[in-house]
Amino acid sequence: MSVHLVGGGATTSRDAALYAPFVAEAALRGAAAGRARPRIAVISLHPEAQEKAAALADLLAASDGAREIEVQLTAGRSGEPIRLTALADVDGIAVGGGFVEEVRAGLEPVFGELRRLVAGGVPYLGVSAGAMIAAEGSFGSGSRIGGVVVAPEDPEDPGAELEIEAGIGLVDVAIEVHVAERGMLSRLVAAVESGLVAGGLGIDERTVLIVGDGALRVEGSGSVWRVVPADQGVLVATIGA
């Protein structure tokens, strides 16, 4: 099974096809467990968690008109960790966006269980912040490295330093999202060049990166940007859809 990472922005019915590979994998897992409908945990730690969880569930359901799914919704609250019961007996796990620090903190108590489930064949879908925390080292929201501005600053938190926190560990490189749309490639480049992370992948909006046993797969309207160290700095290349 695979890890599906969406760079954000895919929130309308026309984006539903991006979620179809994830739902198809969950259906295979469910069929192996004897379920006619795959059971998918949909978790949101967004400030509007109830609404966002329901919206993500609707997109998953719309991704394949011929397949019905059973959704197990969890709308988390800031400061309250997600419980293991949210992940019990599921065929797929979908984590939505929000403030990356809050999404990471809410899921941290179940990181070990998430790793165990994915290693056992349960597909994972992360959208925006849900994609960022899938990495071993998860980016925070800061826009400066060593006091130098490396990305557009958040007007609500100007001057914040980029910090790397432990993520779930489903992929071994850092994940950046909203790359082309929010000018975040520069932050990924600076993080790799400074040595904060050993390498990274940046995902545009309305684009999904699928990490499985074979080659990386990209679907959607944007690109995935690969940033790795090089002799004279960093090497940047794109993986097109």
The tens digit of pLDDT for each residue in 176-185 reads: 999 999 999 9
Q: Strands (DSSP E) along 106-195, which ranges? A: 124-127, 137-139, 144-145, 148-149, 164-166, 174-177
Please report which confidence band the pLDDT of residue 78 belongs to, taking 50, 70 and 90 as the band edges: confident
CA angle, residues 157, 162, 205, in degrees to nearest 5: 85
Strand order in the sheet with 39-44: 70-75, 39-44, 92-95, 124-127, 3-6, 207-211, 217-220
Contacts (Cβ under 8 Å, ≥6 apart) of 195: none
Q: Is the pLDDT of residue 132 over 80?
A: yes
Both tokens of residue 107?
């899921």
Report pLDDT digits (tens) over 145-175.
999 999 998 887 888 999 999 999 999 999 9
3-state secondary structure of 5: strand
Extract the tokens encoding 217: 């797969």
Residue 234 lies in a domain: no
In this structure, the strands spanning 39-44 and 92-95 are parallel
Q: Using DSSP, how many helices (H) and how many strands (E) does the chain show?
A: 7, 15
Residue 164, phi then psi, degrees to nearest 5: -110, 125
pLDDT at 232: 86
Q: Which pLDDT value is given to residue 240?
A: 66
* Tens digits of residue pLDDT in 49-72: 999 999 999 999 999 766 789 999
- What is the model's pLDDT at position 241? 56
pLDDT bracket for residue 42 (50, 70, 90): very high
The closest alpha carbon to 110, from 131, 78, 90, 81, belongs to 81
pLDDT, mean over the chain:
94
Residue 236 lies in a domain: no
What pTM was estimated for this model as a whole? 0.96
Q: What is the rounded distance in angstroms from the CA atom of residue 22 to the CA atom of residue 225? A: 21
Residue type present at position 166: A
Name the domain count of the chain. 1
Q: Is residue 126 part of a domain?
A: yes
Q: Are 138 and 165 in contact (CB under 8 A)?
A: yes
| pLDDT tens track for 211-239 | 998 889 999 999 999 999 999 899 999 98
Residue 194 lies in a domain: no
Q: Is residue 56 part of a domain?
A: yes
Question: Does residue 232 form part of some domain?
Answer: no
pLDDT value, residue 199: 96
CATH of the domain at 16: 3.40.50.880
Print the domain residue range for 42.
2-151+159-178+205-221
111 contacts 79 by C-beta, under 8 angstroms: no
Q: What is the pLDDT of residues 85-103, one digit of tens each?
A: 999 999 999 999 999 999 9
Instruction: Confirm whether 190 is domain-assigned.
Output: no
